[in-house]
Amino acid sequence: NTDGLLIFSTQLDNAELVRMHQRGFPIVLLHRSAPKGLPIPSVRFENHLGVRQAIDHLIEVHGRRRIVFLRGDADNEDSFYREIAYREALDVHGLPFDPALVGVGGFNEMLGEAVISAMIADGIQFDAVFTGDDEAAAGVMMALRNGSLSIPEDVAVVGFDDLSSARHFNPALTTLRAPIETASYLAAHHLACLIQGDPVELVNVLPVELVLRRSCGCS
């Protein structure tokens, strides 16, 4: 009993998307690309360029060499493109990719804390963490403090999203500001247009912005 659906990330599989599209049901994807060959509108963030900028900053400005990358879930598209950018930045700067520095943070505070606590307990050496999102960053910071590591002196921390709480972290969180409200508005607007039979842009990629604060070492 609905006129259309906004579908967030991986909440429906490709087969169901194909079925709904073939029925002519109006759908718009948020934080996810359409399956190949299906003209379904999508609204996403520019993950690749943003994460490249963040990792380049850690390496070039702060001299970090052992950077942890926390993944999202295995089928999360945002995480996929962020990891490509992470690996690319390491390669451009002549730094080896070390699988021991990659963990699954799941965009979750408790998982972020658990992964970093395990790395510390295992004696893995690292000097920066790209946390995947700001919620995971809170857990990462807790784990670092519990491991007697200072932020950013011992370990720099960078998040993603720039939630309203990020500037109140201790220290304030360097993060990639994503236009979350704009993405939601645009997706809803496109869905309303589809329901009314109006044309919309199929691919909508919104830029993100690196916001420098104390957690990476900037003043």
Task: Give pLDDT, residue 10.
Answer: 72
> Which residues of the chain are under the pLDDT cut of 50?
none
Looking at residue 76, its amino acid is: N
Task: Give pLDDT, residue 140.
Answer: 98
Task: Give pLDDT, residue 102.
Answer: 98
pLDDT digits (tens, 9 = 90+) for 45-85: 999 999 999 999 999 999 999 999 999 887 889 999 999 99
**% the chain with pLDDT above 70:** 100
Cα 58 to its chain centre, rounded Å, is 17
Q: Which of 138, 97, 96 is nearest to 114 (CA)?
A: 138
Task: Give pLDDT, residue 76.
Answer: 87
Q: Please report the sign of the dihedral spanned by the C-alpha atoms of residue 214, residue 138, residue 61, residue 207.
A: negative
